[in-house]
Amino acid sequence: MTVPSEPIRLTVAQALVRFLAAQRSERDGAEHRLFAGCFGIFGHGNVAGLGQALLEAELSDPGALRYLQGRNEQGMVHAAAAYARMRNRMRMWACTSSIGPGATNMVTGAALATINRLPVLLLPGDVFATRPSRPVLQELEHPVSYDVSVNDAFRPVSAFFDRVWRPEQLPSALLGAMRVLTDPAQTGAVTLALPQDVQAEAWDWPAALFAPRVWHVARPVPEPAALDRALAVIRTARRPLIIAGGGVIYSEACAELAELAEAAGIPVAQTQAGKGALPYDHPLSVGAMGSTGSTAANQLAREADVVIGVGTRYSDFTTASGSAFADPGVRFVNINVAPADAAKQSGTAVTADAREALRALTAGLAGWSASDEYRALAWRLAAEWDETVTRAYTLGHQPRPAQSEVIGVVNEVSGPRDVVLCAAGSMPGDLHKLWRARDPKGYHVEYGYSCMGYEIAGGLGAKLAAPDRDVYVMVGDGSYLMMAQELVTAVAEGVKLIVVLVQNQGFASIGALSQSVGAQRFGTAYRYRDPATGRLDGGVLPVDLAANAQSLGARVLRAQTIGEFRAALIQAREDPGPGPVVVHVETDPLAPSPSSQSWWDVPVAQVSRLDSTRQAYADYVEQRQKQRPLLG
Ligand SMILES: Cc1ncc(C[n+]2csc(CCOP(=O)(O)OP(=O)(O)O)c2C)c(N)n1
Ligand SMILES: [Mg+2]
């Protein structure tokens, strides 16, 4: 019999820090510290609680829970999400904020993490539990509900939410939080709201709370009957297509994906999160799927009779808003660890880990294969698309280069294991179409939330997760203006990022979208208001983002031509660091990008006085005919 040890007296915040440092994750026998550290920005809501506790930890046990100072709370959460993505969700960060605006700045990051199924632990400070001096600075003071605070805004965007009103609640809150963070089907942002007085309150904790704990990340195996149903559907296929999503990569199932594809002769298209699951030049890789896809993947999707989705949530970009699959009899088999995703597209659901299910499918299909002609068709279509990519990489567009040429140079200058990272604007679509992915972790485009401002902060997180790879952050001028602050964190921490800052004077993406919906690019360029017209169509603004980056402590190189850009990028690559290097390049927002021969549903005004809108609406009505709503 073990003698119970003495309780340990600590504040709630000290206990929390000690607990987090003791957590571990395990999968396939590989064990890691679950938390790489804690990002934080302090204010009255956390300085005396978590701030004091992190200081004590740093002084007494520096490696236990590293502290990193963020510049914007949203940026901290983005960095944490990018880190978790790079580490296939086996390692993660906590983020502590003050109350009020510090806390709500994290809400956008929480939504991004939850939508992308990425684990982050959020620790917003909260209003007094004891209410001695109500309202505390930044308290919402809801007139009819005193237990509501601004932190309730985290509830819909969190995979788990709890508020620790009393110290006794902490152990159950922590255990619930860890369970969800390490569950591949449920993971996302986990929020523990911590009233500022409770954080500083002392309590006698059982020593067992701080014992090392291992969270085993599950690989659920397919139910035999579900597997049989899936095999029966696949065996009927003449034109099967696999859609590989992020789940393939998180499950580390890329080798198993290639085995199934090769054994059964099934071409593989990839979503934004799944790009890199097969290298671009694999004989069965047909490139990107959907609205920003390759013509190869989209033609095969149009004709497919069986679609096998692996680890995909079938976003509208993947399904071309429900128009990608045109065969009237098309059937879906969905392998996903999350039941809600496995059930999509009215499909045959196999709720399981991607690697386990792919192995079982390969074994179950032994001896079965699609025809050689079909394999050859996929190869030919992919080769045609690759020629399109080469042309886009070498357009020779004048006087300013096209974005596709910039992407081509980054692809050529970066190494096969390096990471390209992006989130919003016209680049994610162009990267999805055009990037030649060579490594499962080499393509990092956040397109679940497509959040402007993720780029630099996400780059910081990715580089912290993979210091042995170069990280090329692709950021537009709009996204840069939204959030570049974590450049300063990269400077302070000596984290080398290579930031490609693409200046095209506004929103190339939404400008093109605006034009396609008949809204004439209204409000999408960055321009002076012209006193003559009263409209935002005056001259180009005197904004110098290169100088801005330099003022934040980054080393900056400027390029005008594509040749100068290549030279600058090589110089940035060879820069020994530490800290970020920014390469500023101006591109032509109107330069063409190859068509995906696909569609994306953005509703157009049904009535209008503008010819442009009426014409766009007529086109829209026609396009909508292709939608297959029952496959939603
Ligand atoms: C936080 C946020 N606000 C708004 C949007 C909608 N949006 C998508 S792309 C875009 C413009 C991006 O501009 P920029 O970074 O310059 O890229 P470009 O379109 O020029 O390639 C906007 C406003 C978004 N995705 N995220
Ligand atoms: Mg722009």
pLDDT tens profile 51-62:
999 999 999 998
Taking residue 557's Cβ as centre, other Cβ atoms within 10 Å add up to: 18
pLDDT category at 257 given cuts 50, 70, 90 is very high
pLDDT at 12 over 80: yes
Q: What ligand has the least distance to the C-alpha of 593?
A: 1
CB 276 within 8 A of CB 343: no
The closest residue, in CA terms, to atom 5 on ligand 1 is 452
pLDDT at 147 over 60: yes
CA of 451 to the centre of ligand 1 (A): 8
Q: Please give the backbone phi and psi of residue 485, each rounded to the nearest 5 degrees, phi first.
A: -60, -30
pLDDT category at 4 given cuts 50, 70, 90 is low
Rounded percentage of the chain residues whose pLDDT exceeds 90: 97
pLDDT category at 499 given cuts 50, 70, 90 is very high
Number of residues that this document lists for the chain: 632
Q: Looking at the whole model, is its pTM more than 0.85?
A: yes
Alpha-carbon torsion, ordered 439, 441, 442, 446, to 10 deg: 140
Average pLDDT, the chain: 97
Q: From 546, 548, 566, select the one nearest 557 (Cα to Cα).
A: 546
pLDDT at 18 over 80: yes
Task: State the Cα–Cα distance between residues 64 and 212, nearest whole angstrom.
Answer: 12
Residue 443 CA, distance from chain mean position: 11
Rounded percentage of the chain residues whose pLDDT exceeds 70: 99
- Sign of the torsion angle spanned by Cα atoms 245, 247, 251, 257: negative
Q: Do strands 202-205 and 8-11 pair parallel, antiparallel, or not at all (unpaired)?
A: antiparallel
CA of 400 to the centre of ligand 2 (A): 14
CA of 178 to the centre of ligand 1 (A): 34
pLDDT category at 5 given cuts 50, 70, 90 is confident
pLDDT at 632 over 70: no
Q: Which of 116, 400, 507, 522 has most ligand 1 atoms within 8 Å of its beta carbon, as the pocket-test mutant? A: 507
Q: What ligand has the least distance to the C-alpha of 521?
A: 1
∠ CA 291-297-298, nearest 5°, is 50
Q: Which of 112, 452, 504 has most ligand 1 atoms within 8 Å of its beta carbon, as the pocket-test mutant? A: 452
pLDDT at 162 over 90: yes
Region 425-436 average pLDDT? 98
Q: From 326, 336, 368, select the one nearest 244 (Cα to Cα).
A: 336
Q: What is the pLDDT of residue 631?
A: 65
pLDDT at 630 over 90: no
Element (H, E) at 360: helix 354-364
Tens-digit pLDDT profile for residues 378-395: 999 999 999 999 999 999
> Which atom of ligand 1 lies closest to the CA of 511?
19
> Which atom of ligand 1 lies closest to the CA of 509?
19
CA of 474 to the centre of ligand 2 (A): 11
3-state helix, strand, coil in the chain (%, to 5): 40, 20, 40
> Which atom of ligand 1 lies closest to the CA of 589?
20
Sequence-distant (6+) residues with CB within 8 A of 190 are 119, 120, 121, 122, 158, 159, 160, 161, 177, 180, 181
Q: From 102, 96, 115, 116, select the one nearest 37 (Cα to Cα).
A: 96
Task: State the Cα–Cα distance between residues 100 and 82, nearest whole angstrom.
Answer: 25
pLDDT at 132 over 90: no
How many CA atoms lie less than 13 Å away from 71 in the CB half-sphere? 16
Sequence-distant (6+) residues with CB within 8 A of 522 are 514
Sequence-distant (6+) residues with CB within 8 A of 446 are 81, 82, 85, 112, 116, 421, 422, 423, 454, 458
CA of 55 to the centre of ligand 1 (A): 38
